[in-house]
Amino acid sequence: MKRKTLGPIICLMCLACFAPAANAALTIVKTVGGGPPSGLNYLTFDAFTLGGTTQVENNVTVSFQPAAQVVNGSQSGAYAAPYLSGANGDEFGLPNYVGDDPSNYLTTGTVGSSVTLDFSGNQQYLGLLWGSVDLYNTLQFFSGNTLVGTIAGGAINATATGDQGLNGTFYVNINSDLPFDSVVATSTNFAFEFDNVAYSANQVPEPASLIVWSVLGLSVAGAGWWRRRKAAA
């Protein structure tokens, strides 16, 4: 190679090394009472052992660091069961169920802890039942070690206050224009709780249930629909 060509090549190599991380465009459709499309891959966590042991369902490895865990029910000041309504449970063995999630779900705990979903291949769609949304909940999407996208609780509900009743739980459908192979849930306070995960290697169309379901259309009311905000840690 001629000496005079080395300079430009070295410059290009340096630029490549310092290139910014990939930044996926994430399309979010979130609805109280919604659900994922049918015919996808689903995770219920119902067969998981309670606690923080790494476990596998449907070729997805779920790991916990260090205080995150599989739980059932609620514990004041630590975690609260998502509130199911509408189509939230239709694809997960709980059709038309209304009330606190009676099944296993995952909680991140507080700052320094996390739940990680490692997929066996690249995905471009994720759905999850996001309970009692807080502004300090965060969901990160990775391709290998590269962070490709982030969603915080404010993107789901701009005025989120950890409402443990009907209006605090959303089914969130997320399409990514870049593939990801792991998702990490974290929270800087108690807690990020989620259940009923759907995933696909392809982007998926908006579920019809999200179009027709509205909080204003609910016919059931009463004190059971509302609970006080989660106690602070």
Q: Dump pLDDT digits (tens) for 53-90.
A: 999 999 999 999 999 999 999 999 999 999 999 999 99
Q: Work out whether strand 83-84 and strand 99-100 pair parallel, antiparallel, or are unpaired.
A: antiparallel
User: Is there a domain that residue 117 lies in?
Assistant: yes
Residue-level pLDDT at 110: 96
Show Cβ contacts of residue 69 under 8 Å, excluding neighbours closer than 6 positions.
50, 51, 52, 106, 107, 109
Coil, strand, or helix at residue 84? strand
Number of domains in the chain: 1
> Is residue 131 domain-resident?
yes
Does residue 227 lie within any of the structural domains? no
Mean pLDDT over the full length of the chain? 86
* CA–CA dist 203, 160 (Å, integer): 27
The parent domain of residue 123 ranges over: 27-210
Has residue 220 been placed in a domain?
no
- Give the contacts of 57 (CB within 8 A, at least 6 positions apart): 43, 44, 45, 47, 48
pLDDT at 107 exceeding the cut of 50: yes
Supply the pLDDT for residue 168. 98
Q: State the CATH number of the domain containing residue 134.
A: 2.60.120
